Amino acid sequence: MPSEIVSVLSNQPVGEDVFAMELPALHTPKPGQFYMLRREGSALLLPRAISLCRQEGDTLTLLYKIVGKGTAELAAMKPKDKLRLTGPLGNGWPLEELSGKVLLVGGGIGIAPLLSAAKALHHQGNPPDCCLGFPHQPFYHEPFQPYCRALQIATESGVAGQKGLVTQLFDPGQYDAVLCCGPTPMMKAVVDLCKAAGTPVWVSLENRMACGVGACLVCTCTDHQGKNRRTCKEGPVFRGEEINFDP
Ligand code: FES
Pick from 235, 166, 226, 232: nearest CA to 202: 235
Please check whether residue 18 is in contact with residue 71, taking contact to mean a CB–CB distance below 8 angstroms.
Answer: no
Residue 229 Cα to ligand 1 midpoint, Å, equals 10
> Ligand 1: distance of its center to the CA of 90 in Å?
11
Task: Specify whether the CB–CB gap between 48 and 37 falls below 8 A.
Answer: yes
C-beta 47 within 6 A of ligand 1: no
Ligand 1 centroid – CA 46 distance (Å)? 11
Ligand 1 centroid to residue 231 C-alpha, Å? 7
Q: What is the structure's pLDDT at 65?
A: 97
Confidence of residue 246 (pLDDT cuts 50, 70, 90): confident
Q: Which residues make Cβ contacts (< 8 Å) with residue 231, sequence separation at least 6? A: 90, 205, 207, 209, 219, 220, 221
Model pLDDT, residue 2: 87
Q: Is the pLDDT of residue 45 over 90?
A: no
Answer whether residue 174 shows pLDDT above 80: yes
SS3 48: strand
Could you give the residue ranges of the DSSP H alpha helices within 49-183? 69-75, 112-123
DSSP classification of residue 5: E
Mean predicted lDDT score pLDDT of the chain: 96
Ligand 1 atom closest to residue 230's alpha carbon, by position in its atom list: 2
∠ CA 228-191-223, nearest 5°, is: 10
Does residue 247 carry a pLDDT above 80? no
